[in-house]
Structures are given as structure tokens and as C-alpha cells.
């Protein structure tokens, strides 16, 4: 995904253009020829999960409601119960991709607001 972002062929404002999943599928096929990963549902589902987890970490580290949370830069692990024994090694790369499309202003929602809904 970082390669697609850097090349710029599939960028549209702060999102990826239609067809980026197919290109990503072809890129992964070269690296993992026997994995048989498909754009839908495999890659789409994994990207959705990565973006959701990234948003949780991002909101806690840069948001107003970050009391009691921290980031261990040496182990690349967020200090919070959901991720207690899980690292998030691609945080910086995902931040480069997704941080630009974060909402700000009166319509922005924090993780706490989303969970309450």
C-alpha cells in the first residue's frame, strides 16, 4: 500500500482510486505466489481491519482522550488492553497513508463517540 501511495497512480485526494485492490493483489501474487489472496474479500477485509486498528491507535496518541495510554517506541506496541500483547509495526506507514483524511472540526468524532453510538 505504501508503494501504491508513493507511486501516486492510484491516489485520489486522500483515498485510493478504484482498482487499487486489483493492483495490490497482483503485487502480492509476485511476492507470495501460492497464497491465492483475492482483492475481495481477503485484501479488502484486511485493509479495513488495519485501518480500524490504526484509527484507534492514532486517536489515542494524538487525540484529546489519550489519558492512560502510551506508545512504546522500542517495541512498537501501544499500551492499552486491546493491544496488550500485540505490536503495530506499520503504524508510521499507515499514518502516512490515512492521517490526511481524518476529520477535524465540529463534525469530527473521537473513538469514544463512535463506541457510544
pLDDT score for 9: 59
> Tell me: the pLDDT tens digits for 37-79?
787 887 788 888 888 888 877 877 776 556 556 666 666 655 5
Residues paired with residue 78 on neighbouring β-strands, in sequence order: 71
Residue pair 108/63 in contact (Cβ under 8 Å)? The answer is no
Residue pair 43/25 in contact (Cβ under 8 Å)? The answer is yes
pLDDT score for 14: 54
Look up the pTM and report it.
0.53
Report residue 26 as a C-alpha cell.
497482483
> Tell me: the pLDDT tens digits for 82-100?
666 777 788 888 887 777 6
Give the Cα separation of 82 and 99 in Å (integer). 21
Amino acid at each position: 500500500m505504501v508503494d501504491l501511495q508513493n507511486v501516486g497512480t492510484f491516489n485520489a485526494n486522500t483515498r485510493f482510486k478504484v482498482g487499487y485492490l486489483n493492483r495490490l493483489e497482483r503485487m502480492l501474487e509476485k511476492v507470495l505466489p501460492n497464497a491465492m489472496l483475492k482483492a475481495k474479500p481477503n485484501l479488502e477485509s484486511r485493509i479495513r481491519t488495519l485501518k480500524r486498528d490504526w484509527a484507534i491507535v492514532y486517536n489515542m496518541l494524538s487525540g484529546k482522550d489519550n489519558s492512560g495510554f502510551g506508545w512504546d517506541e522500542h517495541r512498537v506496541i501501544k499500551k492499552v488492553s486491546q493491544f496488550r500483547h500485540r505490536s503495530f509495526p506499520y503504524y508510521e506507514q499507515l499514518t502516512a497513508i490515512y492521517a490526511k483524511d481524518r476529520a477535524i472540526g465540529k463534525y469530527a468524532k473521537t473513538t469514544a463517540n463512535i463506541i457510544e453510538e
